[in-house]
Amino acid sequence: MSLTAIFVVAVFGLTVAGLIRFQNSPEKIFAAALCLLFVSNIISTEQVINSFANKGLLTLILLMVCSLALEKTKLLQLVTSYIIRSSYKATWFRLYILTALSSSILNNTAVVSTMLAPIRNNVNHPASKLLLPLSYAAILGGTLTLVGTSTNLIVNSMVIDYGLPSLGFFDFTLVGICLVSGCGVLLFFMSRFLPSNARVVTLAADYLIDMEVSTSSSLIGKSIDVNGLRNLESVFLVEILRNERLISPVAPTEIIQANDRLIFSGDIKKVTLLNRFDGLSSFAHESGLPLSNLSEVVVRPESMLVRRTLKRVGFRALFDAAVVAIKRDGTNVSGKLGDVVLQAGDYLVLAVGDDFKSRHNLSKNFFLLSDVQTENQLRGGKEKIAIYGFFAAIALAAFDILPLFKGMLMLLAALVFSGALSSNEIMQRLPKNIWVIIASALALSQALKNSGAFDGLNTLIQANQGILTPLVALIIIYVLTWLFTELVTNNAAAALMFPVAMELGSSLGMNPMAVIMAVAYGASASFISPYGYQTNLMVYNAGQYRIKDFVKIGAPMCLLYGIIVIASINAFIGL
């Protein structure tokens, strides 16, 4: 082996060691490896540029950016509202099936993120009995299609870079169905061993938020539980004001009526979540004031508002603003906001109009604190573009009518043009880390080829051909990828193992698709460690799990998953 090859192998080894040692900064490790190889002239400028402009990688970036708009719609919230039931078995099956199906076409991290709060806040079942199945269902659902997980798309980007045809949308489906079915049955029986940890409720802020049910609302005639108003993220329904009668506490079976005033308490930044519900609106919204433009103020002692109600003073006319929420230190505030008698020191969150900051009476009545950045939710035409556009692009790609890259690029243009996504949102949420990791991994793969580092691997294979059969090689590829996944995260595992696996498979004359699938499925096999897959990490703290909980449930899952993968690849794809 030449000195150049030895150097590249050393860089590869140091990259693996660095990823194990510094698990929270994989992009820095890969970037350092890329710079080292580039400065050493082992990879050219053109190869670096081509790595960052890889079509499969850009498709992944576009898909993740377009899914940001989908996160701002009520789609996943509607899915979530059907999950929690009084029966644990019914809840578990709804959770597993809907999560797996959602994760097959949507970003599984976004799916878990959306379902996390309702499951954590539900009062029917311990969250710890459901959150780990949620994460595992998202992982398994991601194995059903090309777009189900970023891991599959990362492998596809490396397939394209290797000079092979792009993977098809349903290439993963047969094996994925076996995994979702087989592992789902095992997970259901293993869920009985999950801990029943006590529910911990934390309020980010104790603001009181007043919302009214319109006479045309679809919420009317249904219970709080059925409408999905019970398990919202960081916002809690504390009372209902009905015909001057206060209902508190609110039972999950309470039926919504027209003109009910629903009083919520919680994080004011989440107030826009309430706009997802049909016919539920605040006075600010009815007045045409945007909830995306909020300001927080404190009532001054000398203010004309002290000891008066908002209804009496004509707040909108005075300040070109409407009160969205109120908070009072040390005292609970109750009832309709318009009837609350204001006191000095009350905190108010205001939806403000264009003329608000030019009013001369602001400094006499308020201490101005800051603007409040709410979570902007899409409605109307923007929401339709985000939902229908996304699924149209996926469907067209699934049936080979329009390439996924082109469909996502067209959708991104529509989202930006309609205002559903802003350039600031795109830049803030652009998956730069994944871009750096995969581009660097592609360059590292190219360096291994350029240097002749695989010559030693070929020699080793030739010397052990009697033992190293295609089936044994497939098992080795899968196991090594799985180990890397548990140690250095799924995306990094796929990026590192792909070039080595393809070279091993090529030397043995194996079916390239079998090798590709072994890497893809091995990189998604993170069940034992909470750190190997992002969804595991998300539920780890929320469910108050310990590592032993992951080991106890994840070890049998991992074993069955591996058996199904090897058997299914052998049966459906061939070696």
**CATH code assigned at 243:** 3.30.70.1450
Judge if 301 and 255 occupy the same domain: no
Judge if 259 and 324 occupy the same domain: no
Judge if 250 and 306 occupy the same domain: no
Look at residue 246 and tell me if it is in a domain.
Answer: yes
Judge if 215 and 258 occupy the same domain: yes
Judge if 305 and 365 occupy the same domain: yes
User: Phi then psi for 422, rounded to 5 degrees?
Assistant: -100, 160
Look at residue 523 and tell me if it is in a domain.
Answer: no
User: Which residues are CB-neighbours of 565 under 8 A, at least 6 positions away?
Assistant: 175, 179, 478, 517, 518, 521, 522, 525
- How far is residue 518 from each of residues 1, 497, 498, 523, 569, measured CA to CA in Å? 28, 10, 10, 8, 8
User: Phi then psi for 348, rounded to 5 degrees?
Assistant: -125, 140
Look at residue 25 and tell me if it is in a domain.
Answer: no
Q: Last residue of a domain, which of 321, 352, 372? A: 372
Judge if 248 and 305 occupy the same domain: no
For residues 19 and 483, the answer to whether their CB atoms sit within 8 Å is: no
Judge if 355 and 304 occupy the same domain: yes
- What three-state secondary structure class fits 454? coil
For residues 541 and 127, the answer to whether their CB atoms sit within 8 Å is: no
Look at residue 100 and tell me if it is in a domain.
Answer: no
Look at residue 73 and tell me if it is in a domain.
Answer: no
End-to-end Cα separation, the chain, in angstroms: 30
Q: Which amino acid does the sequence have at 76?
A: L
Taking each helix axis from N to C end, the angle separating 26-39 and 432-451, rounded to the nearest 10 degrees, works out to: 40
Judge if 259 and 313 occupy the same domain: no
Determine what percent of the chain falls in helix, strand and coil, rounding each to the nearest 5: 60, 10, 35
Look at residue 360 and tell me if it is in a domain.
Answer: yes
User: Which residues are CB-neighbours of 277 under 8 A, at least 6 positions away?
Assistant: 217, 219, 227, 228, 229
Q: Last residue of a domain, which of 372, 399, 421? A: 372
Q: Taking the CB of residue 136, how many other CB atoms lie within 10 A of it?
A: 30
Nearest to 489 by CA among 441, 447, 537: 537
Which pLDDT tens digit goes with each residue over 400-441? 899 889 999 999 999 999 988 888 778 877 888 888 888 888
Q: What is the pTM of this model?
A: 0.71
Q: Which amino acid does the sequence have at 505?
A: G
Q: Are strands 261-266 and 347-352 parallel, antiparallel or unpaired?
A: unpaired
Which pLDDT tens digit goes with each residue over 125-167? 888 999 999 999 999 999 999 988 888 988 998 898 888 998 9
Work out how many domains the chain is built from and give that number.
2
And the tokens for 351?
């939806």
**What pLDDT shows up at residue 331?**
60
**What pLDDT shows up at residue 172?**
94
Q: Last residue of a domain, which of 230, 250, 266? A: 266
DSSP assignment letter at 569 = I
Determine the Cα–Cα distance for residues 38 and 440; give it in Å rounded to an integer: 10
Look at residue 123 and tell me if it is in a domain.
Answer: no
User: Which residues are CB-neighbours of 410 under 8 A, at least 6 positions away?
Assistant: 393
And the tokens for 6?
């030895």
Look at residue 179 and tell me if it is in a domain.
Answer: no
**What pLDDT shows up at residue 202?**
41
Low-confidence spans in the chain with pLDDT less than 70: 1, 23-24, 76-77, 117, 198-206, 231, 233-234, 268-270, 272, 283-293, 329-335, 369-376, 454-466
Instruction: Assess whether the previous peptide bond of 431 is cis (omega < 30° from 0).
Output: no
DSSP assignment letter at 500 = H
Q: Whole domain around residue 228: which residue ranges? A: 207-266
